[in-house]
Amino acid sequence: MPESLPLFLLAVAIGTYIQAVTGFALGIFLLAAVTLLHLGSIPATATALNIMNLALGAVVVVPQLRKADGRIVAQSLIGLVPAMVIGVLLLGYLNSNAQNLLKALLGAVIIAAGLVLVCRPDPLPRRSSPAAFVGTGFLGGFFGGLFSVSGPPIVYQLYRQPIPVQTIRITLLTLFSLASLGRLVVVGLHGDLTLDVVKIGLLSLPVVAVMAWVGNRFPPPVSERTLRRGIFVLLMLSGGGTLLMALTA
C-alpha cells in the first residue's frame, strides 16, 4: 500500500481531472507525485494505473468501439505488444538494480509528455505507412511496459493523421485500454500482480469515476491554450524534479 493513502488518492484525483480535460496525463502526473513525494514504488503504481485505465476504458470504449480505426489499432499493436513485454521485464531489473536510472527515465518521459501536450503537429497530407504505426506502437509499448505511460509517441503520431479528431480519440482510448489489459496479463504471468496492488487500483476507481465526471462537467474557466500551457509548466516542473532527484541521489 502507499505510504500515505490519502495523498495517493489526492494525486489520483488531480491526475484524473487533468486527463478529463486534456485527454491524457493521469499516469504521468500520478507517477511524478508518487516519486517526488515518496508515496510508493514505480512498479506498483504502474500496475495500479493499468487497473484504473482498464476500468475507464471499459466504460468509455466499449459503447464506441466501432468508431475506432481498426487498421491503426492492429498495426500499432504489432509493435506495442512485444515492446511492452520488454518494458515490463526491464522495469523489474531497473527497480532492483538501478532505481536512479529508472527515475531518470521517468523524468524524461514526463518532460516528453509535456512537450507533446503543447505541440500542435500539422496533419499529414496522407495517412502514415503501416510501418510508421508499428514503430510508434513499439515505442509507446516500451514506455507503457515501463511506466504504464504509452501515450506521448502514440498521441503525437495519431494527431498527425488526416482523420477526424473523434476517431483519433476513440482509437487512442482503445489502444490504451488494450495496452493496460495486456500489461496486466504480462505482470500477472511475471508474478507481480499482488493483492496490495489490486487493492490500490480498486480503491482508486471511485476517485477516478468522480473526478472524470467533474472534469467533463466542470472544465476550468480558461482557454484551451492557457490550460495546456499551465499543465505544460506543471509537467516540466514534475519531470525536472524527478530527473534532478535521480541525478543528485
Residue 249, pLDDT > 80, answer: no
Query: pLDDT tens, 134-143?
Result: 999 999 999 9
Residue 112, pLDDT > 70, answer: yes
- Identity of the amino acid at 242: T
Query: pLDDT tens, 36-61?
Result: 988 988 999 999 999 988 887 777 77
Residue 138, C-alpha cell as written in the block? 513499439
Buried b (16+ CB within 10 A) or exposed e, 102-122: bbbbbbebbbbbbebbeeeee
Which domain range does residue 92 map to?
5-248
Residue 90, pLDDT > 90, answer: yes
155 or 82, which is more confident: 82
- Nearest 5°: the CA angle 197, 200, 206 is 145
Among candidate residues 62, 55, 155, 165, the one with its CA nearest the CA of residue 115: 155
Q: Residues near 58 by Cβ (< 8 Å), separated by ≥ 6?
A: 177
Model pTM? 0.86
Q: What is the pLDDT of residue 55?
A: 82
Q: What is the pLDDT of residue 138?
A: 96
How many domains is the chain built from?
1
Q: Please tell me the number of Cα atoms within 13 Å of 209 on its side-chain side.
A: 11
Cα gap 100→123, rounded to integer Å: 38
Residue 197, pLDDT > 70, answer: yes
pLDDT category, 23, cuts 50, 70, 90? low
